[in-house]
Amino acid sequence: MQRLLWRDSAAPGSGALKNDTPGIVVAKLNNTLQISAVNDAAARIGLEPGLPLANARAICPDVHVFDADDVADAKLLDAIADWCDRFTPLVALDPPHGLCLDITGCAHLFGGETALMQTLCDALRAQGFAVSAAIAGTSVCARTLKRYEHGRIVRDGEEADAVTPLPLFALGADEAITRGLRRAGLKTIGDVASREPYEITARFGAAFTALVQQALGQGDTPISPRKPVPDYMVERRFAEPVATDSVIAETLSKLAQMLVAAMDKHGKGARRLEATFFRTDGAVRAITVEAGQPVTLADFVDRLFREKLDALADPLDPGFGFDLIRLAASRVELVVQEQRDFDTRAQDNDEVAALIDRIAARIGGRRIVVHLPQDTHVPERAMVSVPAQQNLALAAQATWPERIEAEPPLRPLRILDRPEEVTTIAAEVPDGPPAKFIWRRASHTVVRAEGPERIAMEWWRSDNHMPTRDYFRVEDETGLRFWLYRDGLYDREGERSQPNWFMHGMFA
User: For every residue of 323-369, which 3-state class applies, written as one string?
Assistant: EEEEEEEEEEEECCCCCCCCCHHHHHHHHHHHHHHHHHHHHCHHHCE
Taking residues 470-491, report their average pLDDT.
86
pLDDT tier for residue 408 given thresholds of 50, 70 and 90: low
Q: What is the DSSP letter of 225?
A: -
The single-letter DSSP state of residue 188 is B
Give the pLDDT confidence score for residue 275 in this predicted structure.
Answer: 94
pLDDT of 14 reads 45
Per-residue pLDDT band at 505 (split at 50, 70, 90): very high
Question: Using CB atoms within 10 A of its CB, is residue 20 exposed (0-12), middle (13-18) or buried (19+)?
Answer: exposed
pLDDT value of position 325: 94
pLDDT tens profile 325-370:
999 999 998 887 665 555 555 566 778 888 888 888 888 888 888 8
Band of pLDDT at residue 403, cut at 50, 70 and 90: low
Instruction: Tell me the HSE value of 144 on the side-chain side, using a 13 A CA sphere.
Output: 30
pLDDT band at 375 (very low <50, low <70, confident <90, very high): confident
Question: Could you tell me which of 353, 338, 347, 341 has the C-alpha nearest to residue 388?
Answer: 353
Residue boundaries of the structural domains of the chain: 2-68, 72-215, 232-336, 414-506
Task: Quickly count: other Cβ atoms within 10 Å of residue 316's Cβ.
Answer: 14
How far is it, in rounded angstroms, from Cα 484 to Cα 260?
55
| 329/331 Cα distance (integer angstroms) | 6
pLDDT digits (tens, 9 = 90+) for 284-324: 999 999 988 888 899 999 999 999 988 887 888 888 899 99
Closest to 378 (Cα-Cα) out of 451, 452, 469 = 469
Handedness of CA 148, 151, 156, 157 (dihedral sign): negative
Give me the pLDDT at residue 234, please.
Answer: 93
How much is the pTM?
A: 0.72
Neighbouring C-alpha atoms within 13 Å toward the C-beta of 309: 20
Q: Span 174-184, mean pLDDT?
A: 87
At residue 254, the pLDDT reads: 94
Average pLDDT over residues 475-496: 79
pLDDT at res. 407: 64
pLDDT for residue 494 is more than 60: no
Q: Would you say domain 2-68 falls under CATH 3.90.78.10?
A: no
Distant-in-sequence, close-in-space partners of 369: CB < 8 Å, separation ≥ 6: 385, 386, 387, 388
H or E stretch covering 183: helix 175-183
Three-state secondary-structure class, residue 40: helix
Write the secondary structure of 151-168 as one string of H (helix), E (strand) and C (coil): CEECCCCCHHHHHCCCEH
pLDDT digits (tens, 9 = 90+) for 428-437: 566 788 889 9
Q: 26 and 66 in contact (C-beta within 8 Å)?
A: yes
pLDDT recorded at residue 491: 57
Q: How far is CA 10 from the centre of its chain?
A: 26
- Determine the pLDDT at residue 396: 72
| Residues of the chain above pLDDT 90, percent | 25
Identify how many contiguous H helices and E strands the chain contains and give both numbers: 15, 20
Phi-psi label, residue 197: left if phi above 0, alpha if psi -120 to 50, beta otherwise: alpha
Q: Quick count: other Cβ atoms within 10 Å of Cβ 171?
A: 24
SS3 string of 295-332? ECCHHHHHHHHHHHHHCCCCCCCCCCCEEEEEEEEEEE
What are 45-98's pLDDT values in tens digits?
888 888 888 888 888 888 888 888 888 888 888 989 999 998 988 999 988 888
pLDDT bucket at 274, cuts 50 / 70 / 90: very high
Q: Which residues contact 498 (CB under 8 A, 6 or more apart)?
A: 488
232-336 is classed in which CATH architecture? 2-Layer Sandwich (3.30)
- Average pLDDT over the chain, rounded to whole? 84
Q: What is the mean pLDDT of residues 493-503?
A: 75
Residue 12 pLDDT grade (very low, low, confident, very high; cuts 50, 70, 90): very low
Residue 418, CA distances (Å) to 23, 36, 410 in order: 58, 53, 19
Residue 18 has pLDDT above 80, yes or no: no
